[in-house]
Structures are given as C-alpha cells and as structure tokens.
Structure 1
Amino acid sequence: MMFKQQIANIGALDGARNKEAIRACNRLLDRGIKTTRLQLLKACALARNGNTAEAVELCKKVESQKVIFSDQNDLRVLDIVYSELGRYSDIVRIYQEAHKLDASNPDLLVEIFMACTFTEQWEEQLKACVTLNKTQQDDRYFWWAIVSRFLLAKYGDKSKASLQISLCEKLCQKAFNDGKASTLEHLRIYLDILLHQDKHEAALDAFQLNPKLQALLVNDPDLAVLKLDLLVQNYKINEALEFSSQLLENSDNWLIYKCYIKALVADTDNQDPWVLLDKYSKQEDRSRNACLGRIELASNFLKLKKGFPIELPRSQNQYIWDYVEKFGAKPVCFSDIMPYIIEWYKRQGNFGPEFRQELERYLEKALADQKNGSNKKQALINDVCETLLLLIAGIKDKSLSHGEFILLGSHYLIVAANKLFAEGDFDRADSLRISALVSLLSGIKNNQNDFQLKLLAIRLYIYFGSFGQAAELYESLNNKHVQHDTLSFLITGYGGPYAFYKQDLDLLYDSLEIYHLNKQDTPRMIKLAYQNGVYSKVPEFVEFQRRLCNSIQKAISLRFATRNEMMLHRDIRSIIKEWKQVDDNAFSKESNPTEWSDNRDLDILFCCSPPGYDEYSIERLTRCKQLPNNTWVDVFGLVSQIMAKISRKEKDSLSDALKLLSETVSDLKPGNSLSKQEYYLAKSVIGLGNIAVKAFSDESYMCDKDELACIFDPWKEDFQNQSEFSSFYLEEIPYFSSCLEALGAEIQTIHKMAVSSLKQKIKTAPKKAAEHIEKKWLNSDDEGAKNISEFLRKQYYPIVKNTTESLTKSWLKSCRLLRTEFDQRG
C-alpha cells in the first residue's frame, strides 16, 4: 500500500514537472524499490526532460531483464517511453519480441499492426494483419488487411505494386459478394483502389453492388459528387442529369452544380439547359450557387468550338454583372467571379465596349459623392480597364471600409510601385508602397480578422524593414498546425537581413514544431481511423504525413534556424560549440527524400493572384528575395555541413562535402536558384574549406594573405557595381564573417594579418551601404509620406501619420542593428 502511495506521488509526470518526477523516482530506487515499472517511469521523465541518452540506456537495461516481455502493462509503458523518444521502430521490435513468447495473444498482433503506422513498415503491418484475420475470423481485420495491402501497393516495392493492387481489388470484390461490405466506408476504400488504377467504369459499377448503400448516397455529398463525376466521365449523360436534378432538389452543394453543368454541356440534344439554374436562381435561400452556375455554364459553352447549336440567352458579361448586382455586398463575391473574369479577359484580349459601359455605370455610383471631375473619372476608368486586378474596385463600396476593395486597391498600388521601381523612380515607388500599407492597416483596423489584409501587410512591413511589426502581425493570425507549413514562408527567414535573429528564430521554431508533432499525432489519427472503421481516411492521413515529412519548407526552415543560431552568438567559442553540435545527417543529401513536397501556398492571396498572370502575382511582387528551392536546400545544407566539419576537424569527410558543394554550384549562375550574394557565399565557403583541408593535412601550412583575401574579391567588386543597396543584399555578409571567424579560431596557422585584412574589407563596404540605405530613406520629406495620395491623407491622416512614424522608427532600429552587426563581425 505504501509503495502504491509513493508511486502515486510521481504525479509530476502528468504535470510536466519532469525534474521533480526524476527526483521522486531516484528516492524510491535508493530505498531498494527497483521494479520494472518504476524504472520505466524514470525513463519516461528523463525522455520528457531531454535526457535522451540516459533514457535510452535505462530502457535497454529494462529490456535486458526479459521479464518485461511477459507483462503487457509494463510493455505499454515502455511503448510510451519510446514514443517520447521518437524511437518508433523500437516499439515495433518490442511487441514482436513479446509475440514470440506469446504467439496466441491477438492484442500483441494489434499493437504490432498499429506501431507499423509510425514506421511505415507496410510489409510487417500486413503480415501481422493477415495472421490476425486467419486466427480471429473478424471482418474488421479482413478490411484492415485490404487497406494495409493498398498502402503497400502505393508506397512499398514498386515492382510488386501491380500484384498488390490487383489482390486488393479481388479481396474487395469477395467482400461484396460475401456480404462483408456493409458500410459506405467499405465502398469508399474499394473506389479508392479502383480509381488508383484509373478503372472509372468499374468504379461506377461498384455503386450498384449493394442496393442498401446506393440508397444512402443522397445523404453523402462526397460520394454523390463522385458518382456524378463518374457518370459524366463514362458518358452516362442522361443518368447524370437525372441524378444531379434529384440531388439538387434537396441540396445546394456547389460541386453538384458543377457536375450538373458538365453533363449539360455534354448533352448536345438539350435545347434549354438553363431551366433548372434559372429556377433556383430565383429562390432567395439558394440563389447564390445557381447564379454562379449560370456564369459557369456560359463559360463552358464559350470554351466549345464555334457552331455549337445552343445560343446563350445572355452574354457571360451580363451574368457576371447580375451576380455582382445581387451579391456584391458579400465578402466572397469577388473571389467567386474572379476565375471567370480572368478566363474571359484571356479569351478576348481586352475588356471590350460592353464591359466598359457596365463598369462605367458602377464607377459613377462609386464616385458620385466624391466630387471628382470628369477627367479624373475617365482616367480612373482607363486605369481600371487596363489593369485587370483593379476591375472590381469601382464596384465595391466607395469608402475604404471593404476588405476586398482595400486588397485590390493595395494590389494596384504595388503593381504601379514595381513599374516605377523598374524605371528607376525609387522615391515614388516607395510612396506608393506606403500608401498600400496605409490602406491595408485601415482595413485591419476595421476588421481584425481579415486574414488576407494581414498577410499582405506582413509582406510590406518586411519590405520596409519593420520585421518586428511583421512578426507581431503574423502571430496575430493564430496559425494552427499545418498552416505553418503552407504560410510560414511569407515571413520566416526574413528577420536575418535586418539582424532580428532571435525573433526570426522563434518564428522558425514555432513552424518547425508542426513537423515534430506530425510524427506523433498523424499516426495516432491513423490508428483511430482503423479502430473506428473509417478506412478511406487511412490513405489520406498517410499521404498527409508523408507530405509533411518531405516538406521542402521544413528543410528551408531548418537551414535558416541553424544560421540564426550561429548569428545569435558573439563569442567565437560559443559559435564553434554550436557548429560542433550540428547533426550532419539532418543536412546530408542522402537524408533528403527522392522528391520534395512543396506545400507552400503561393496563391494564398487569391483575390490578387490570378493563375497565368505572374506579372500580377501579389506574392511575387512583394518578395524581397528569391524563393528557396531544391538547389538552395542542397547548397545551404552543404554549407552547414562544411562549417561543422571544419569545427570538428574532420578532414576526409570535409573534402567529400567540399567536392559535393563545388559540383552543385559549378553549373549555377548568380540569380539562378541562388541570389548573387548566396552564390558568392557558397563559393567563399568552398574557399575557406579548401584552406582548412590544407591546414589539417600539413601542420606547417601557413595561409598566404592574398590567398585568403581573394576569396572576398567577388563581393567587393559586386558592391562597387551596385548603385542601390538593400538589407537583403547585405544578408550574407555577417554570416560569411562568422564563418571566417570560426575558421580562424580553429586553424591557428592562418596568418592573423590575412584574417584581419579580410575582416576589414568585409566591414567597410556593407557598412557604407547600410549608411546609404538609412540616409536615403530618411531624406524623403515628411518621413516618406510626401507623395501619399490626397484621399488617403485626408481620410486616414492618423493612420498615415502613425504608419510612417512607426516605419521610420523600425527602419532606424534595423539600420542600427545592421551597423552594429557589421561593427562586431568586422
């Protein structure tokens, strides 16, 4: 009884008070209470406290006693400890060891099966499941075996994939014939297997296999839409029209409308395809999808070849304007019709007189109370018609209170700013960007939940060097889980150029956490899907897990985080210590997946980034530097490896890494995959690495002053050729300086005068550039607000004033940080 009370006192484990739990375990162990359970509790506390090596050693010690494999409760605790340590293959192994001792225990087979979801050991999983199915005669295990075999076909040995998928199909057919397929989930997984093989006709036939399931389709929109789509693909047009009409009687699902429209377009005998859409467009509670459906139908007809027998009762333009007239007040109106406007514009090449007339009518409404002269009105009309993405600005409310109007207006200002910048008019370009930021902040003030406005404001804050405000705004988005993978590229890695290393690092670690959680949480969701019989979710979760594991943004964030960790340290001994601790495997090309998953949402600003119009892409227009790609990942992985190997004096592996980096950059040109400065950094690190190899090979080697100094020559020449500088242009210099300092500290034979001379070169050019940036920005009259439009200045003067003042202060802070960085690194 006393022992149970003492064990109960280790509730610190549940409260995440791991050190307290370790002390409590040690007290009990010192009293001679050396039970397996107590040792495992201590191992769990050690794992959660970060004492990984000690926790693993204790687990191995417990395993060596063998008694644990006969106690399932202790085995589950060991399972928990290995989960905390991320050693999922060990979990599979311990249950396999236990099963050897108790082969008749089905629970152990279930544990093996579930543990394999963490390790993707599909063959081992299938083997466990087949044994379960044979010994237990449970339909549940029969379907587990089908799903497991399907995963083996998708992700296992490609040479056996065809055989495995064929077996899956036959097993599903057997299940339907034997009455083992009784739920929609059974039908779903069978359809997944058939569609994976592109067997569309067989998939359509599968809907007829169980009449009871057929009756349930009406209440399952996803399966109903899939059946509709298959009917159209298999040219069962009349059946598709009949089924979709039946579904639309009780459903206002847009996907059903789209399938119905596909069938209408394919039915060349239908002389009046508009009847149903016109009918539902008049019903207030469901008119939006029906009205949008009319635009979709008109769009589909216009895509067909000339001579199609059906005449449009109204033009697509008129349907678009009808939609705007009816739903213009809704926030989604613009995003609804944008694809059709883009498509129509591409087809016509211009907006045409009809569109201009309609647009002018709406603009007159918008301008009525602003007392603008006719010249201004006509100029605005011309601008709108020539600039696609300002099209709907005149339709929206006349004040800057509507989120989409602000977004579109800001986009127009950014497009104009980029054109001015390209022409060399930098002052006016910056004024327009400030105008855009003011507009966005006015919208955010009215609606704190407007996701789109915040994202664009973040990018503009970064452009103006206000990383602190950008980070604050990004954190207010409250991104959850996978959103870090899709959106973090908008801000992470942008703090370094302004010397905001700590703030940038915090954001990077927040985004990297999702990848760690993915390894634990997603397999748990897969286990729940199996347990609850939601079989179609298993392949979805597996694919989701693999995309996150292979995410290129994960690799990019890890490389930026490593860089920022180094830059946080001023003391060279601390920097070298950090380099020595770098895990080479995390950066090696061998550890890279065969294919990266690029999950970055480059179209997140959907209102402003129409597909096919890259010159108008808001994401592209607000980039301050190149978007990292596969080559960037390889290069900066190798840079990190090289610096780590220099710090650890690993000559042989250092030579191999240098050879790989040289081969990677040999065919590159500055500006292609790497910016000019990133390219120079890679070449310079190769130079530093070669000097290190010579020094490690020959203790008498003395680095020549000119040999070291010439490494920096391309940078110096590049500075002299530049008339404009930005902090992103200077980003690589402090990092290179840090690398040089680490090399000098590790290789005592390097000529001190050579290092000193090179550091002086590194210090002078970028410091002057930083001073140039600061003076140029501050020389603008009225702190950069001189050319902000009169409308903004009058209507939103407090926001204009606060924005320009905060930008000035933030920019000064960035400049001070940069100059301090150059002083201390140089």
Structure 2
Amino acid sequence: MTTPCRHLQSYTGKCTDAGMALYKIVPKNPYYFWSVMSLIMQSISAQDEKLSKTMFLPLAERMVEKMVKEDKIEAEAEVELYYMILERLGKHEEALEVIRGKLGEKLTSELQSRENKCMAMYKKLSRWPECNALSKRLLLLNSDDWQFYLSYFDSVFHLIDEAWTPPADGPMSLEGNLDYAIEQTVRFIEEQIEADSKNLRPLRGPYLAKLELIRRLRQRGYNDEYKLGEPEDLMFQYFLKFGDKPCCFTDLKVFVDLLSSSQHSSFINRLLGSLPLTPPTEGNLALPADIKAMQRHLCVVQLTRLVGLSYKMEKAQKQEAIREVIARYRHGLHFGKSCLKTELQFSDYYCLIGAHMMLDLWHDGDDWAVWQCLALLEEGLSNSSSNAQFKLLLIRIYCTLGAFEPAMELYGSLDAKHIQHDTIGYLLTRFAAPLGHYTAASQSFNAALRFFHSNQKDTSEYIIQAYKYGAFEKIPEFIAFRNRLNNSLHFAQVRTERMLLDLLLDANISTSLEENIKSMSLSPEEDDIPWKDLQDNRDLTVLFNWDSKDRDISVEHRQLSLEEEQIWLLIRSLTLRLVSGLTTLNHTSEPKNSEKATENGVSSKIGTVRNLIRQYEETLDSAKQFNERMIKYPFLGPPSSRLAGFLGSGSCQCQKEAFQLMNDIYELDTFGLDDSCEVQEKIGNRLKSSLCHLQELFHRCKGDLLVFQDGHCKVSPHVIENLVFFVEAISVVLWVSGYFAGVLRPFKSNLQKKKKKKKDSVATPPIFTGFQDYVTGLQTLLTNVTDYIRELETSLVALKIEDLSLNNVNFTEEEKKFTRMSSEKVHNSFVHSLQEIGDLLRKRLETIKKLKL
C-alpha cells in the first residue's frame, strides 16, 4: 500500500512539473512559485531529513535566488516563501537579511509582520541586544502590546546573564538603544506607567508588566531590592482601575501566586471594602446598583475562590455563601432584561460559581447538593439559553450520574463545529455506549467520524486555495493540521468503539459475525492506529473553573489521563482484532497440521491470534498496575476512562478467558478427540470458570439505580455501567461459543457414524456434555439477567418523581420545578438505558438457543 508521504511526494512532484510547464508558456510569477512551493512540500513529506535539506530545499532556494537576482520578486507571498525556505534550512542570518532588506518592505498585509519575523530570527540567533532594542521601540509605539513586554524581559535577563556591555564605538545595536540592567528595566516600566497616567483611557499593559517584572525578579532571588512596590498594593490599584472589566480577573489570576497565603484574606477584604454597593437591603445583602458595580463584585467572588478561601469555610458557611451567590445571580438578571435570547446574562458567572460550590459539597458527601446544582444550572440555562458553560457542566454532571440522554440533547444544542468534534467530542463519546444508549452512541460516533473522514477532502481544498491565492506560508500549516487530525487519539477511539458497537448490535443477530467482520474490512494482522504519533487533541480546560492551583488540573493529570486512554484504547483495539481473528479459525475438514493447511495460511492465522492473546494479557497486566495507583482527576478535568470499571466488574476476566478458549478450541480441532485429553480437560475447566465469572459479573450489576429515601436521592450509575460490561462480555463469550459449536459438530457427526458402524457402544467424550451444560448455564444466566432488568425497569417506572424532597434545603417553587425537571431527565434516561440493554440481551438469548450440536 502506498504510504501517505509517498503519495504526497508523487503529487507535489507533478505539481512542480506542471508549474514549470505553465511558466514556460505564460511566464507569470505565480506559476513559477507553485513549483517552488511543491519542492518545499516534497521536503516536508520526505522521510529522510538529510534528503530534504540537501536536495529539495536547496533547489527551491536556488530557484528563488534566481528570481531575486533578476529583480522579479513581485508579491509579498514570494518573499514569505523565500523566508520559509531559509528558515527551514536553518539559514537564520540570511533570513534576517531578507526581512531587513528591500524585500522585507513588501511584508505589509499583517500588522508588524516584518518586526515579528525579525524578532523570531533575533531569538533564534540569540541576538539579545537587537531583540531588546526592537521590543523597546515597539513598546514605545504601543505600550499595551503584551508579547513585546515578554520579549523585552526575556532579552534583558539574557543580557544580564551574559554580562553584556555596550560597544565603545558605534550604536548599541542594529535596532538602536537598549536596556541591559535591572535598574534600566525598572525605570523603563515606571516611565511607561507614568506616560499612561496621562491618558484618558488607561492601558492595562504597563501595570501588568510591573507585576510580571516583580515575578521574574523574585524567581531570581530579588525581593524588595528595587522598590517596585508590594504586589498586594499593585493588584489592589489595578482592581480600582480595571475591576469593572471582565478581563480583570483573568489578568490578576496570573499574579495571585505573588501573594503569600497569609495575605489572601486581607487582600480579599480590601477589595470588598472598595466595592460601590448599596446599603444592605432584603436578605442583608449589599447589592450593586449597576452592571459595572456588579462586575467588580463578581471579580472579587472569583478571586475569593481562586485563592482557596471558599474551601476553608465550614459547611454552614458554604451553604450561606451558596445562598448569597444565587441571590446575587437572580438580582443581576434585571440588568439583562433587554438582552436578546442569544446573548448571555451579565450575572451568569454567579450561577456558575454557585454550581461549583455545590459540587464541592457533593464531593464531600452531601447527595442533595448535586440535585440543587442541576436545578440551578437548568434555571441558568432557561435565562441564558446560549451559555455553553452551563451546557458543558450539565453534560458532565448528567454523565457522572449515569444519565446520557439529557447529555446528548445538551451537546446537540451546542452545535459543535468542525475541530470541536475533536477537541470537546470526548465529553460525549466517552459516555455514549457505556451508559446503555446504543442508538444515541451510534449517532454520536457517526457525527464525529463524518468530521474526521471529511478532513482529507477539506484540507486538500484548503491547500489548493492557498496555491491559487499565493498563501504559501499556510500550506505547511494545513498539512500539519491534517496530520494532527489523522493521528488524533479521539479519532482512533471513536473508530474503534464504533466498530465494536456495530458488532455488538448486529453480529450473530441480524447478520453473521463473519459478514460483519468482512463488511468492516477488518484483519487481525493489521493495526491501523498510529501509536507512536497519537496526539491528544482534547481540550481539558473547556470547563471554566476558579479552583486554586493545588485543586486544578495539572500537567501530571494530563499525562496520566493520556496514558490511561492509550491503555484502554489498546485493550479495545486488541478486542476488536481478536474477534476478527476468531472468524479466520473456522473449522475445515483439512487437518490443521497438514502441509496444505500451512500453505493456506491457517498456521500463520493461529500464530497471529496467539500473539494477540499474549498482547491482550500483557496489556491487562499493565492496566492493573495503572489502576492500582488509584488516580483521581479533578471533577472539572479529564473524565476517567472505562478502565477501572472494566477491571473492577470482572468483565476483563470473562473476556480474557473467552479469548484463551479460542486457542484451546483450535488445539482441539487440530489434534482431534482421540489425542486431546489434556486439552479437553483444560477446556472443561475453563468453561466452568467462565460461567462462574459471568455469574460474579451479574452479581455486581445488582443494586438500585435511583432511590428516594429519608429526604435523599441517591443514584448508582455503576449498575448500568456493569450491565453494559456484562453485555460486552456475554457477546464475546457467545461469539467464541459459536466457533466452539462449529468445531464440535463435525466431531459429533463422525462419532455418530462410528456408533452406527460398530456394534459395541462408543463412549461419548465429556467435552460434548461439558459444552451442552455450559450453553444451558449461559441460557439460564441470561434469562435471569433479562428478568432482573425487567424488574429494575418496572420499579423505576413506578417511582414517583414527586416524592423527591431534599433535607436541609428550603426550595422555592421555582427551584422545585427545576429539581423535578432534572430528576425526571435522569429517571427517563435510566429507563431507556434499561430498555436498550434488555432488548439487546433478549436478542443474545435467542442466539444462545441456536448453539446446538
């Protein structure tokens, strides 16, 4: 099969030829530079980096240099292309000369494009004097440009570390004068602030730059040597200037770690004391008189949670704080009476913070808190129907409770577009099939796969348009984007889960397992997942939060989550390949150890299956070691995979035994009944063990899904999750049992022929009775499971949602309405889950009845 890289090389090679052919006919620059760009494309796709840098890129460079010498460079895109070639060749000095020279004057389409490219080259060449001087010059033109503050500070401290001194003669640098000492840097920032104080509209950059300088000085061991001021005072002054802007919190969030833990309370109290609130009225709350005052208070509330003060409260204090933010949320709604339905309410963050505080209480063991949280978010969504954060948090909570149906509806209302199917799709696809909504799971998988499958076509179109309009610098970006999606972890997960789901719903029910495997073009030998290049494109910070650093998602959490997802993906991929391998081991009349069989590839097929079984067992061992670490992610961080449930439910043991049984059955088929006594005994023991483990798995499925008791409402989502694991395990067991029956039937037929020929009775090997007992046991077990699901469904349907009343919570009528709404959604989702699981298991029960010898 032609690799994508070779295909791209062939394609771009043709583009090179076509471009030059067109240029010879019509000597226009775009045709010529198509050829140049095609050479760069070949260098990108070349597997050999040495070949790329010694052949393709130098040839492209010579082609452009020819046009430069002949003074034929006309467009900005052509200069960009020349710059790109030199950068990829590592010729940074030459690239800098191009940008600073006459050609660089053509770079005008983007603001400060020339300066940004110069800055990039200065950094790569470690020319810190020029980097500093250019940053300083640009800041004098615009003292609010944050990227140049960072470049300015980086370069200053590099110069200090190098003990740089200005030359005795001539200019300090090519870009002019610069700062190379801390005293100069402090003076420059102070001058920026002083200059800004004369503006009618103050700029945020200079004030934040002062805080950034303090941070960097502290990192180097300097504390108060340079008299820049106390961070608490500077942050307070910043709040006074910009507290009414939504960006104030995100600006100060970065610098909160400059405050010691002992300063947190005094800082928050100081901010509260500066708020322009009206005197306390009903409920003893001092309320804001306008939107700006409310925004200031909201900023303080966010900072209070960020520094961790809300975690230190007693339970009663937390409840009181929740009541206050809810009251402030509802009061703030009158500021948004004129808002359109598509606009967000000004006080939405109060609602979201209140929901997070309730989740804290739920985490501490208060069951009522999650229902109040759902009610508050549903209320918020009714007032602000376009608020994506409300929807995302509701999706997460409903899925955690085990209710997928409302999550599917909410995700649909988000109207996710394009790349969002990859970045946030995991919030839905992770829970689709595991919560028993197989139809909805198919829909969610299909939606994700449509995006990934259209990626190749779409990005090809983008590349064509970039060629057409001369946007050459965008072409490598489009290729990188396409590769990033092709290697997406989420893409691999959805594709694998979709195929497993199709087998689960159809194999040996509407069509045979062999037909399903054939229609999917599955082969046990092929593993099309790019394991070495897998990229985690999930947006794990899509949910807003104001958690302190010790409670927020960390780099370690991200790494552990990726490791966990890869282990689980490998288990699922191996499961799929083993099931497809099962169809290659079908019984034939030809002995498996004959020369003809070896020629036909039968021995190689069992070799493949045995290798997959070994990999499966090794992966399970790795999974158990990972699971023993008992890793807990923040609730607003990455959701855990199904790995812990797979191991804890016993489904892993059931499936492992079924796959091991495949090998034993093959040996029985190979050696025959007369020479396989040990194998038959092994199979008999494995059948008993398998039935026992399936019964244990069923036992773990028992429990009440939804209970209203003593003013509490408790859910047990593990009941549905374990039932789904049972469905998957029993399906694998039945597929293997079908293979077993196919092997035993010819043996039984031959045995009956022997009995007819011989007058003496021929003993029936115990393997036949063992198999029949096993099938009978499976039928009994599956009957019990379907009866149990029916009982669960009946009890759920009979449950009255009106009985839900929560202790310690005095709900208003409005709150009761939203509480009933959310509990009804959970209740209905559970009922539909049980119905889909029950229907599928009843179809599997029909399959068992066909397993007769």
**Same fold flag (TM > 0.5):** yes
CA RMSD of aligned residues (A): 4.7
The residue that corresponds to 2:594 in the other structure is none
In the alignment, the residues of structure 1 paired with residue 801 and residue 325 of structure 2 have an alpha-carbon distance, to the nearest angstrom, of: 35
The answer on 1:414 being equivalent to 2:359 is yes
Q: Which residue among 507, 525, 550 is the counterpart of 2:462? A: 525
1:375-417 CA-to-partner distances (Å, cap 9, x unmatched) read xxxx999987535899999999922552333333323333443
Larger displacement relative to structure 2 (486-495 or 124-133)? 124-133
1:234 is aligned to 2:127: yes
1:629 corresponds to which of 565, 569, 576: 565
Counting only pairs closer than 5 Å after superposition, residues 486-501 of structure 1 correspond to structure 2 as 486-501=423-438
**Change over 3 Å in CA distance of 1:264–1:367 after alignment to 2:** farther
Q: CA deviation at 1:771?
A: 7.4
- Structure 1 residues 448 and 169, CA gap change in structure 2 (3 angstroms): farther
Deviation at residue 772 of structure 1 after TM alignment:
8.4
Question: CA separation in 2, counterparts of 1:472 and 1:527?
Answer: 37
- Cα distance, 1:731–1:172 mapped onto 2, change above 3 Å: farther
For 1:199 and 1:372, the matched residues in 2 are separated by: 69
CA drift at 1:528: 1.0
Using the TM superposition, give the Cα deviation of residue 522 of structure 1 relative to its aligned residue in structure 2, in angstroms.
0.6
Contact map agreement 1:432 1:788 (CA 8 A) in 2: no
Tell me the equivalent position of 1:306. Answer: 222
Check if 1:734 corresponds to 2:727.
yes
Counterpart of 1:647 (choices 546, 563, 583) is: 583
What is the CA–CA distance in structure 2 between the aligned matches of 1:387 and 1:712, rounded to whole Å? 54
Given the alignment, which residue of 379, 394, 413 partners 1:457?
394
Maintained 8 Å contact 1:646/1:692: no
Residues 265/468 of structure 1: CA separation in 2 closer, same or farther (3 Å cut): same
1:687 to 655, 660, 665: 660
Show the counterpart of 2:820.
Answer: 801
Aligned position for 1:755 = 775
1:709 lines up with 2:688 in the alignment: yes
Q: Which residue of 2 aligns with 1:220?
A: 111
Do residues 668 (structure 1) and 587 (structure 2) align? no
Q: State the partner residue of 2:46.
A: 156
Q: In the alignment, what sits opposite 1:78?
A: none
Deviations 1:681-725 (A, max 9, x none): 652442243245346546758795532232355565577689974
Note closer, same or farther for the CA distance 1:466–1:799 as it changes in structure 2 (3 Å cut).
same
User: Residue 499 of structure 1: CA displacement?
Assistant: 1.8
TM-superposed CA distance for 1:534, in Å, is: 0.5
Note if contact 2:79-2:103 (Cα within 8 Å) is conserved in structure 1: no
Aligned to 1:188: 80
Partner SS for 1:484:
helix
- Give the corresponding residue for 1:814: 833
Summarize the Cα distance change of 1:795–1:488 in structure 2 as closer, same or farther, 3 Å threshold.
same
Relative distance call for 1:780 and 1:184 in structure 2 (3 A) is farther
Structure 1: distance between partners of 2:533 and 2:580: 26
Cα deviation, 1:780-799, whole Å, max 9, x if unaligned, reads 99755515754x65773332
Contact 1:225 1:256 in 2 (8 A): no
RCO comparison, higher one (Cα < 8 Å, 6+): 2
SS in 1 for 2:470: coil
* Cα drift, residue 633 of structure 1: 2.6
**Does the CA contact (< 8 Å) of 1:726 and 1:773 recur in 2?**
no
Mapped pair 1:355 → 2:267: yes
Distance change in 2, residues 1:669/1:556 (3 Å)? closer
For 1:734 and 1:243, locate their aligned partners in 2 and report how far apart those are by CA, in whole Å.
Answer: 68
Once the two structures are TM-superposed, the CA of residue 603 in structure 1 deviates from its matched residue by 1.8
Deviation at 1:503, TM superposition (A): 0.8
In 2, the alpha carbon distance for the partners of 1:499 and 1:168 equals 57
Q: Cα distance, 1:312 vs. partner?
A: 2.0
SS in 1 for 2:408: helix
C-alpha distance in 2 between matches for 1:364 and 1:816? 56
Which of 276, 280, 300 does residue 192 from structure 2 map onto? 276
The answer (yes or no) to whether the contact 1:116–1:122 under 8 Å persists in 2 is no
Q: Give the conservation status (yes or no) of the 8 Å contact 1:281–1:288.
A: no
Evaluate the alpha carbon distance shift between residue 324 and residue 813 of structure 1 in structure 2; reply closer, same or farther with a 3 A threshold.
farther
Q: Which residue of structure 1 aligns with residue 452 of structure 2?
A: 515
Deviations 1:234-276 (A, max 9, x none): 3125532443136528xx6554555456567774323141333
Structure 1's 757 and 395: CA in aligned 2 closer, same or farther, altered over 3 A? closer
Shift in alpha-carbon separation, 1:409–1:326, aligned structure 2, 3 A: farther
Counterpart code for 2:228: L
Cα deviations by residue, 1:79-132 (Å, 9 ceiling, x for unpaired): xxxxxxxx999xxxxxxxxxxxxxxxxxxxxxxxxx999745466347536854
Is 1:502 aligned with 2:502?
no
- 1:773 positional shift: 11
**CA contact under 8 A between 1:298 and 1:312: conserved in structure 2?**
yes
CA deviations 1:186-218 (Å, max 9, x no partner) are 33334444444666555444321226626737x
Change (3 A) 1:614 1:382: closer
Corresponding position: 1:244 with 2:138: yes
1:162/1:307 CA distance change after superposition, 3 Å: farther
- Are 2:145 and 1:207 equivalent residues in the alignment? no
CA contact (8 A) 1:579 1:644 kept: yes
The equivalences for 1:65-84 within 5 A come to none
Contact 1:646 1:743 in 2 (8 A): yes
Amino acid at match of 1:357: N
Residues 308/291 of structure 1: CA separation in 2 closer, same or farther (3 Å cut): closer
1:727 partner letter:
I
SS of 2:472's equivalent in the other structure is coil
Return the alpha-carbon distance in structure 2 between the equivalents of residues 296 and 773 of structure 1. Answer: 60
Q: Which runs of 5+ in 1 are unaligned?
A: 1-86, 90-114
| Count of residue pairs brought into register by the alignment | 692
Alpha-carbon separation, structure 2, partners of 1:320 and 1:770 = 62
Match 1:404 to one of 343, 346, 349: 349
Deviates more, 1:168-177 or 1:409-418: 168-177
CA distance in 1, matches of 2:70, 2:533: 41
Q: Structure 1 pair 806/687, CA: closer, same or farther in 2 (3 Å)?
A: same
**Does the aligned pair in 2 maintain the 1:228–1:240 contact within 8 Å?**
yes
Map 1:80-479; keep pairs closer than 5 Å: 119=8, 121=10, 124-125=13-14, 128=17, 132=21, 135=24, 138-158=28-48, 159-163=50-54, 164-169=56-61, 171-172=63-64, 175-196=67-88, 202-210=94-102, 213=105, 216=108, 219-221=110-112, 223-228=114-119, 230-231=121-122, 234-235=127-128, 236-245=130-139, 247-248=141-142, 254-256=146-148, 258-259=150-151, 267=179, 268=181, 269-270=184-185, 271-277=187-193, 279-280=195-196, 283=199, 287=203, 292-293=208-209, 295-306=211-222, 310-313=226-229, 315-325=230-240, 327-328=242-243, 330-341=245-256, 343-344=257-258, 348=260, 352-358=264-270, 361=273, 368-369=280-281, 371=283, 385-386=307-308, 398-399=328-329, 402-418=347-363, 420=364, 425=365, 428=366, 430-479=367-416
Distance 1:275 1:202 in 2: 36
Choose 1 or 2 for highest CA Rg. 2
Distance (Å, rounded) in 2 between the aligned partners of 1:754 and 1:361: 75
Judge conservation of contact 2:503–2:516 (CA < 8 Å) in 1. yes
Per mean C-alpha deviation after superposition, the further-off stretch among 813-822 and 267-276 is: 813-822
Distance in 2 separating the partners of 1:581 and 1:760: 33
Alpha-carbon distance in 1 for matches of 2:410, 2:112: 38
Q: Could you say if the C-alpha distance between residues 689 and 582 of structure 1 is closer, same or farther in structure 2, counting changes exceeding 3 Å?
A: farther
**What whole-Å deviation, never above 9, does each CA across 1:133-187 have from its counterpart, x for those lacking one?**
8845553344333333333333312242332445555555555444344433333
Judge conservation of contact 2:326–2:354 (CA < 8 Å) in 1: no
After superposition, what is the alpha-carbon deviation per residue over 1:604-651, rounded to whole angstroms, capped at 9, x for unaligned? 12445777755689999xx9x998633333332221122223235465
What letter is aligned with 2:352? L
Q: TM-score, normalised by structure 2?
A: 0.69
User: Could you tell me how far 1:738 is from its partner in structure 2?
Assistant: 1.6
